[in-house]
Amino acid sequence: HIQSPLLCAVLVKNTPLVTLLLDFGADIEGEDSRHTPLFGAIQEGSESIVKIFLERNSAMKKDTDLLFRMLHAAAQKKRRGVALLAFGHLIEALQVDGPEGLIRLRIQQNDLASVRAVLWLHKSEVSQSFKNQMLADALANNNEKGVSFWKRHGAAESGVMENESTVTE
């Protein structure tokens, strides 16, 4: 199969060549038989090249579907720097408050894959009480998938009971 010169430069992580090719009109969104240059950069974990693509194509920074796909792809490959870039642009584009705000939004849309990616990226910033509240919400809504998900990610039913008792006091 034929790869574009831009994708080849991405796959060998040649940032100066990527910049040069873009200066001469290479298509950031051009797709070959495998994937776009952007997703090649994500898979390779080339944070600097992903930054260049986002700077050169401002529409990408506002395309939340694309940003979620970026977040998923980066999380799957354990590319933390790239995942943080996508996360930062998602927070800005969706105007939500940090990891917990983004998680709430994706729970409403039943997108556990995005929630899983955010938890991987920001595990230490998501409080135990927040996880317990998400479990309580899943229990209240008879959402078996949600209950199973939150239990796997550290929520505790005992914490749900503790949260309920503090609310009623």
How many helices (H) and strands (E) the chain has is answered by 12, 0
Q: What pLDDT, on a 0 to 100 scale, did the predictor assign at position 147?
A: 92
The predicted pLDDT at position 162 comes to 47
The stretch 6-30 carries a mean pLDDT of 93
| pLDDT value of position 158 | 67
Is residue 62 over pLDDT 50?
Answer: yes
Is pLDDT at 151 greater than 90 in this prediction? yes
CA 36, 76, 71, 65: dihedral to nearest 10 degrees?
60
Domains of the chain and CATH, by start: 5-125 (1.25.40.20), 127-169 (no CATH)
In this predicted structure, the answer to whether residue 135 has a pLDDT above a threshold of 60 is yes
Whole-angstrom distance, CA of residue 116 vs CA of residue 101: 14
User: What pLDDT, on the 0 to 100 scale, is given for residue 159?
Assistant: 53
Which tokens hold the place of 9?
Answer: 């430069």
- Asked whether the predicted pLDDT for residue 1 surpasses 90, the reply is no
For the record, the structure tokens of 17 come out as: 């060549």
In whole angstroms, give the CA distance from residue 151 to residue 159: 11
pLDDT band at 168 (very low <50, low <70, confident <90, very high): very low
**According to the model, what pLDDT value does residue 28 have?**
85
Cα–Cα distance, 74 to 31 (Å, whole number): 19
Residue-averaged pLDDT of the chain? 88
Report whether pLDDT(109) > 70: yes
Q: Which two tokens stand for residue 129?
A: 């009480």
**27, 53 Cβ separation under 8 angstroms:** no
